[in-house]
């Protein structure tokens, strides 16, 4: 949602923020007027004055933003703001899931005297960051070649399983990226071999429905581990005393200290390959499929050694589509800020 107030000030500042349940990162962004983000002209984009605050230290979003504006002496500037936030933004009233912060977008803009204010979903921000990524901010997995100006897809196992797509559009002769988001992580999981079928059966015993998010997330890793424990050693072993957290599972798999953890992480990587390939087919993502989120960057080499890419490409008669599409892991630590910068600069 975007609203505007009249521009009463001479100088303009672009203010961006990435608002999470624990931390909020606020910064300023500038770019030369001739830069075209849709064409990848991002060399001179400058994100500066980055500050990170703990949300619990402030009573509201307005308080922390006002603090930043005061500390950075921005009160006399015309401020265009774009904030990425981890919750729905299609209504004026925003209620954060993991914080007691509730506010009206219009009232927030008026209180802070912002020239314009745009809230975007955090996954929209991550998607918008992709065209700005350098080779140092991503890692390619397997073959395929990105085609400029073609659809880009991103998915990200984390607390949940986010999905978004970028499509190129032309507005008044100006090239831009438009993000189409949805709830792709909640589509029905499809097992492709016997062990995955057994895992699905286990999860169906404790859940009403098995979506891809039930496997491709932090708690998804834990559920895969519990399923394999049950399959290998029986019900009496799959108890609370034998549960491992997602971080423990990945750590044990990487260092080779637990064979069951290795089986868990391998199955996770393979299922992720199939899921990402499905997304590539849906959108014909010849611009590439990107893996985001806080989980996968921890085990890039493990993913490379898995069947991730083989499963991504294994789409029968239409395998030529996925074979041509490249896959990447996003390693940039601040994709939310970068995406908010892209959004506000091309607006």
The domains of the chain are located at: 2-133+332-346, 184-330
19 is in an annotated binding site: yes
In contact, 192 and 183? CB cutoff 8 Å = no
The DSSP letter of residue 56 is: G
Strands (E), the chain: 2-4, 12-19, 23-30, 46-54, 78-85, 93-95, 102-104, 116-121, 138-141, 152-157, 161-171, 174-181, 288-291, 327-330
DSSP string, 7-46: ---SSEEEEEEEE-SSEEEEEEEE--TT--GGGT--TT-E
Instruction: Say if residue 17 carries a ligand binding annotation.
Output: yes
Q: Which of 96, 95, 91, 120 is nearest to 106 (CA)?
A: 91
Domain 2-133+332-346 is found in CATH 3.10.20.340 = no
| Residue 21 marked in a binding site | yes
Which helix H or strand E contains 218, and what residues bound it? Answer: helix 218-233
pLDDT of residue 331: 96
Token match 């506010």: residue? 103
DSSP-derived secondary structure letter, 239: S
pLDDT averaged over consecutive 10-residue blocks of the chain (347 residues)?
A: 48 92 90 53 73 94 97 94 90 87 96 95 91 94 95 93 92 84 92 97 94 96 95 67 88 96 98 98 97 94 98 98 98 91 82
251, 299 Cβ separation under 8 angstroms: no
3 state SS of 248? helix
- Say which residue the tokens 């936030």 belong to: 85
Q: Cα(first)–Cα(last) distance of the chain, in Å?
A: 12
User: CA–CA separation, 47 vs 233, rounded Å?
Assistant: 52
Q: State how far the Cα of 62 lies from the Cα of 95, in Å rounded to an integer.
A: 13
| Among 331, 330, 327, 332, CA closest to 141 | 327
79 beta partners: 13
Measure the CA–CA gap between 133 and 42, rounded to whole angstroms.
Answer: 9
Q: Distance between CA atoms of 205 and 135, rounded to whole angstroms? A: 43
Residue 219 burial (CB count, 10 A): 14
User: What's the CATH architecture for 184-330?
Assistant: 3-Layer(aba) Sandwich (3.40)
Nearest to 158 by CA among 295, 267, 264: 295
Q: Which residues contact 218 (CB under 8 A, 6 or more apart)?
A: 157, 158, 159, 246, 295
18 annotated as belonging to a binding site for a ligand:
yes
Instruction: Output the pLDDT for position 235.
Output: 61
Separation between Cα atoms, residue 338 and residue 230, nearest integer Å: 43
């Amino acid at each position: 949602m975007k609203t505007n107030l009249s521009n009463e000030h001479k100088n303009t500042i672009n203010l961006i923020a990435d608002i999470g349940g624990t931390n909020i990162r606020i910064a300023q962004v500038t770019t030369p007027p001739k830069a075209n983000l849709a064409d990848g002209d991002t060399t001179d984009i400058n994100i500066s004055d980055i500050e990170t605050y703990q949300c619990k230290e402030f009573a509201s979003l307005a308080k922390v933003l006002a603090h930043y504006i005061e500390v950075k002496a921005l009160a006399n500037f015309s401020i265009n703001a774009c904030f990425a936030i981890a919750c729905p933004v299609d209504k004026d009233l925003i209620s954060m899931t993991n914080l007691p912060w509730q506010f009206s977008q219009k009232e927030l803009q008026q209180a802070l005297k912002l020239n314009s204010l745009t809230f975007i979903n955090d996954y929209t921000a991550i998607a918008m960051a992709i065209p700005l990524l350098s080779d140092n901010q991503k890692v390619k997995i397997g073959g395929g070649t990105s085609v400029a100006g073609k659809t880009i897809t991103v998915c990200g196992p984390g607390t949940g399983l986010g999905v978004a797509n970028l499509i190129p559009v032309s507005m008044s002769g100006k090239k831009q990226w438009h993000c189409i988001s949805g709830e792709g992580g909640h589509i029905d999981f499809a097992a492709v071999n016997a062990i995955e079928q057994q895992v699905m059966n286990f999860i169906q015993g404790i859940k009403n429905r098995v979506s891809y998010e039930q496997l491709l997330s932090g708690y998804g890793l834990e559920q895969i581990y519990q399923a394999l424990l049950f399959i290998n050693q029986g019900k009496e072993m799959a108890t609370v005393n034998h549960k491992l957290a997602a971080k423990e599972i990945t750590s044990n798999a990487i260092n080779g200290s637990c064979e069951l953890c290795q089986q868990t992480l391998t199955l996770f990587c393979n299922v992720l390959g199939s899921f990402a390939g499905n997304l590539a087919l849906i959108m014909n993502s010849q611009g590439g499929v990107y893996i985001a989120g806080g989980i996968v960057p921890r085990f890039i080499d493990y993913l490379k050694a898995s069947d991730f890419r083989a499963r991504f490409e294994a789409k029968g008669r239409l395998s030529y589509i996925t074979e041509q599409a490249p896959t990447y892991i996003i390693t940039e630590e601040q994709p939310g800020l970068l995406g908010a910068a892209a959004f506000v600069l091309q607006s």
